[in-house]
Amino acid sequence: MIAHLRFCISTMIFVLSFSAFAQDFSISGKVVDMNGNPIEFANVIISIENQEEFFKGTSTDDKGYFKIENLTEAAYYVRISFIGHNEFNQIIVLNGNLNLKTVQLKELPESLEEVTIIAQKPTIIRKPDRLIFNVENTALIEKSILGVLRSTPGIIITEGGINVRNAPAMVYINNRKVQLTSDELIQLLESAPANSIKSIEVITNPPASYDADSGSVINIVMDKNLITGYRGSVHTNYTQGVFPRYNTGTSHYFKNNKINININYNYTGQKINRDQDDRVDFLNGENETDQIWESDINRNTHSETHNLNLNFDYYINDRNTLSLTSTGLYTPYFKYEIKNSTDIFNADQNFISNFTANNLSRDNKYNIGTDLIFRHDFANDANLTYSGHFTVYDYERDQDVFQDEPGDENDSEFNTLANQYTKIFTSKIDYNLPIDESSAFDAGVKYSNVNTDSDIARLDIINGQEVPNVENTDAFQYNENVFAAYTNYSKSWEKWNLNVGLRVEQTNIEGRSLTLLETNRQDYLNWFPTLSVSHQVTDDISINGNYKRSINRPSYTNLNPFTFFFNENTVFLGNPNLVPTYIDYYKVGIDFLKYFSVEAYYMNYDGDIVELPRQNNTTNVLAWTPTNLDNKTDFGFDLLFNYYPSSNFGLYAAVSVFNITEEANFDNETVKLDQWSQLFILSPNVSFLKDNSLNINASFWWMTKNLQSLQTVQNLVFSNISISKSIFNEKGVISLSVEDLFNKQDFDQSVSYLNQSSSNFVDLDNRFVKLGFRYKFGNTKLNTNERASDVEERDRLKDLQ
């Protein structure tokens, strides 16, 4: 009956599943390299003795452990392999649970450079707390890193950032947080090539070792630098959107028995266009339309960016390693042009007047973060890691605004100069103890300090003279201290897996407006539990459940009470009274019929921080203001389908039905909005030619009307396709990708509640064609172990609006 049901369901979406039979015994062990370090993602395959066909297999986890269950009494041939190392082979007779203890793989000699890696299919591995999307050696890695994330199941890239489900996600590389502001992160991921990515982990329930603000985590796993000697690569790409964009870079790696060094450099030059049509209905006291303001806005952003990443490891001896990591981003040229034309009508659509407003801003900024890490490995496989981090962030914006209205006496001209200087220091100690082959204990402590000084000065141009505007001039000082401790325990037995953790954080914040003589203090102690559990019911069915509590602290700039002027009638405000958001996340799921998963989730946000457009119907000013919602809930159901029958073809599909409810109080009036929405995903990939060297990957997303920050967003269609071809004996790759095939990726959103009525249509510069080339040289085709640092405080750096 189960086999018949599997066949019927699979046929509807072009797939046929296979049955399996429950067994009793297991084979387990740990795989390490010559230095005793655990090897992650090593392949462990068993076959029946004297038979070549694959019978069962798995891969090692991040601590090197593996376990193959549901085996019968028999003789088996065990093979353990990992690229860059000699293969382990052994014949065993299984008549009970067998623990192979520790299996050590020896590194291959230099001749490994002749190995050719054939392009593989992307595959998906589902675990109770995460989804692992393996993309190594696929067409996807010829995109940018941001392009790979767009094709990763569960990740949605919007104008506002990177999201898992409907919530912002933290981005890590090799379990260390990328140390950039939100804008810089998008820019970096868009310009950085993805050719060194091994897999993407979408972690919906991060363990307690992650910072408490890591509600969801996207962990980009890079390949390990396995082979001694030197290797390198160069890459370049050309993108044609509304305007051309350029990117070029180079990577260099060297390793011997004592050191491992990576240096990566990228340069990006681009001009990004954005067109926007805005409408604001200013209302009278009876909430009837009084005036209609329609604006045609064009924005152009010109920028040149240099990014340099250095990773250095020094192997003091077999048990001690010292590492230095530094990431620098420098933007010497950044020009932000806004041209606005606004027509004003009465309620009967009769023309009243119009005005134009031009805004020109020039930015200069750099962001440098450095980590020093020391790790000691004990004889019992436990390890102790100390890491210290320091960031310096300097940002300056010089803005000129001229607003031309009918009659010279109504014209307005002013300049602003805004500065932000931030220093971040963190210190962290982590201890990991593998209790046995199936359980582990983690604990750690962390201290962080954030100190930022900001100031803004506005000078009005009156009769050709600069006159200080005292009301819009301010200086702001922010100081934050966080003390944290955590403990985490994981256990696997028979058909169960358990991960439980607890994190506690004490936060002390002080924000001072020097001009306004206002001080805001916040002191709070919070507990953040996590829980993941799964059970293998049969070979075909497994169930899992998660719970996590997390926090979202306001960005430093959002707490700053400054006013940034788009023009005299559109402004962006800070809010020093913001408080953190607390998020409770629940999920239950079932995997069945080999290719299918069903999940149900519920998220409750206490004080969600959103940026709202608030119109003043008396002054005709629209102010974008960060605000705490009183309540927000997000719940829904997902049906997922993963089908990869061969190395030539694969298909991922998903259907999500969800409801978002948002509630806020304005001037003792409550607004409550809710919206049911659907998300449909289809992502096929196919390889051609005998060596699979021609790869094509496509991704299509359709999201129906949905609710975001008390704004209704209409249908969105995301589409892209990428093609790659290996040349020059696998040393070179040419690639072509097209984004927004159907020109449906722009969004239309509206506000309608209480005395608020506005809408806008945003035409982003996201329809483009990209042509790229990459060439590898040196003694191997293997990739890098690029890392970034894990300081969560840097993620809340935010450019001035």
pLDDT (0 to 100) of residue 228: 66
In the structure, what pLDDT confidence band is assigned to residue 4 with cuts at 50, 70 and 90? very low
Amino acid code (one letter) for 519: T
Question: Which residues fall within 8 angstroms of residue 373, CB to CB, at 6 or more apart?
Answer: 322, 323, 324, 325, 385, 386, 387, 388
Q: How far apart are CA 445 and CA 482, in angstroms?
A: 11
Amino acid code (one letter) for 799: D
Residues facing residue 675 across a β-bridge: 660
What is the domain class of 225-796 according to CATH?
mainly beta
Q: How far apart are CA 731 and CA 247, in angstroms?
A: 20
Question: Which residues fall within 8 angstroms of residue 783, CB to CB, at 6 or more apart?
Answer: 195, 196, 198, 222, 223, 225
pLDDT (0 to 100) of residue 278: 95
The CA dihedral of 115, 119, 121, 126, to the nearest 10 degrees, is 40
Q: How does pLDDT run across 117-152, given as a tens digit for each residue?
A: 333 445 667 676 777 877 766 656 666 677 777 777
Phi, psi of 182 (to 5 degrees): -60, -45
For tokens 């989730």, name the residue.
601
pLDDT (0 to 100) of residue 254: 87
**Would you say 702 and 716 are in contact if contact means Cβ atoms under 8 Å apart?**
yes
Instruction: Write out the two tokens for 652.
Output: 């991922």
Burial of 436 (0-12, 13-18, 19+ CB in 10 A): exposed
Burial of 521 (0-12, 13-18, 19+ CB in 10 A): exposed
**H-type helices in 231-335, by residue range?**
none
Q: How does pLDDT run across 422-454, given as a tens digit for each residue?
A: 999 999 999 999 888 788 999 999 999 999 999
Query: Looking at the predicted structure, is the pLDDT value of residue 531 above 90?
Result: yes
Mean pLDDT score, 625-638 = 95
pLDDT (0 to 100) of residue 141: 65
What are the domain boundaries of the chain?
2-108, 225-796
Q: How far apart are CA 367 and CA 424, in angstroms?
A: 11
In the structure, what pLDDT confidence band is assigned to residue 636 with cuts at 50, 70 and 90? very high
**Closest listed residue to residue 323, CA positions, set 362, 371, 361, 280:** 371
In the DSSP assignment, the letter for residue 142 is G
Among 65-79, 127-141, 380-394, 409-423, the range scoring the smallest mean pLDDT is: 127-141
Which stretch of DSSP H or E encloses residue 400? strand 383-404
Three-state SS annotation for 52-79 = CCCCEEEECCCCCEEEEEEECCEEEEEE
**What percentage of the chain has pLDDT greater than the value 70?**
84
Q: How does pLDDT run across 459-506, given as a tens digit for each residue?
A: 999 888 899 988 888 898 999 999 999 999 999 888 898 999 999 999
Q: How far apart are CA 701 and CA 681, in angstroms?
A: 5
pLDDT (0 to 100) of residue 488: 94
pTM here is 0.77
For tokens 């402590």, name the residue.
445
Phi, psi of 667 (to 5 degrees): 55, 50
**Would you say 37 and 110 are in contact if contact means Cβ atoms under 8 Å apart?**
no
Question: Which residues fall within 8 angstroms of residue 495, CB to CB, at 6 or more apart?
Answer: 69, 535, 536, 537
**Would you say 779 and 230 are in contact if contact means Cβ atoms under 8 Å apart?**
yes
Regarding the domain delimited by 2-108, which CATH topology (the fold level of the hierarchy) does it fall under? Answer: Immunoglobulin-like (2.60.40)
pLDDT (0 to 100) of residue 19: 33
Query: Looking at the predicted structure, is the pLDDT value of residue 160 above 70?
Result: no
